[in-house]
Amino acid sequence: MQATPALTVEHLTKRFGGRVAVDDVSFTVAAGEVFGFLGPNGAGKTTTVRMLGTLISPTSGSAIVAGLPLSPANGVAIRQQIAVMPEAPGLYLRLTVTENLEFFAGLYRIRDRARIPAALEAVGLQGRATDLCGNLSKGLRQRVALARALLNDPAVLFLDEPTSGLDPVASREVHGLIDGLRERGVTVFLTTHRLEEAERLCDRVAILNTTLRTIGRTDDLRDRLFRKRLLVETRAPLTDPGSVFDGSPGVTGWEANGSGVYEIVVTDAKLAAPDVARALVAAGADVLSLAEQRHSLEDVYLELISEDVEATR
């Protein structure tokens, strides 16, 4: 039996006056999944998070958040199950780390004071409990914000660009914390502009540009969007490349791309590569390299977003 999804979103739409910020978006996020939510500026990511976080009401559509239908009546119950970490940490800089967490625990009506040291421990900040937040680096403040988000031990955690403005070391620490959340079974809904971050952390990603452009595992998105190719480099150009590649099983096309460099279109790179290698060797070629052409999530993203730009021209 499949566990109940952490999020089920159906035809969610938000209009601000005449402007459609989020248009008919549907997706599900499994419990315990780290889910990436990508899209250009103004794509509607934060608006989606604010709707699912019960901060604003959808114009139309529905959602089930942590098992509860999204409705004003369920607002309090949903907020007990989730946490939203906004892009700006929003801490009181003249209060200490613990004082900040005590303040927010009071605001969230969290009576179990043991949650404060537990949240500090989860983000590795036990040693900084008495430091003023104003004296902490941006990276450490972000960790305090994450500790604040963990105070109610949420089942679903929305992180809105958690590494925005952080240096690579601080970003990597936040990534480590997100890995830790995954291990604890927390569902993480991560909006980010950093594609390598999404690729490294997320089980699946969705690309939004007001409407949902695509959703899936990064490998599947690459496969769906790009034809599979092998890249072959030989020491000298082949005298008759057609006779080498055309007869090879799984090869559907090829083109020369410079001296001794060939791009071979294949149905399945892993199945076709050994046959292509054998055909090259049989033809007496000195093979310098034979590799699958890899696309990054960035390629997928740019391909989809550039289609949108062209469509609006």
Given the complex with ligand ATP, which of 44 and 162 has the nearer CB atom? 44
Cβ contact 120:161 at 8 Å? no
How far is Cα 161 from Cα 142, in angstroms, rounded to an integer?
Answer: 11
39 binds ligand ATP (CB under 6 A): yes
43 binds ligand ATP (CB under 6 A): yes
Distance CA 127, CA 120 (A): 9
How far separated are the first and last CA of the chain, in Å rounded? Answer: 47
> In the beta sheet, which residues pair with residue 16?
19
One of 42, 90, 106, 176 touching ligand ATP (CB under 6 A): 42
Count of residues interacting with ligand ATP (CB under 6 A): 11
Stretch that binds ligand ATP, among 42-50, 69-77, 211-219, 231-239 (CB under 6 A): 42-50
312 binds ligand ATP (CB under 6 A): no
- Cα→Cα distances 145→4, 38, 91, 300, Å: 28, 21, 7, 31
Smallest distance, ligand ATP to C-beta of residue 57, A: 12
To ligand ATP, the closest distance from the beta carbon of 236 in angstroms equals: 50
CB of 40 to ligand ATP, least distance (A): 7
Report the greatest alpha carbon distance in the chain. 78
Determine, following the binding rule CB under 6 A, whether residue 92 of this chain makes contact with ligand ATP: no
Nearer to ligand ATP, 56 or 290 (CB): 56
Binds ligand ATP by CB under 6 A, chosen from 13, 23, 34, 47: 47
Match 């934060």 to its residue by tokens. Answer: 46
| Residues in contact with 73: Cβ distance below 8 Å, sequence separation at least 6, in sequence order | none
Contacts with ligand ATP, residue ranges (CB under 6 A): 16, 19, 21, 39, 41-47
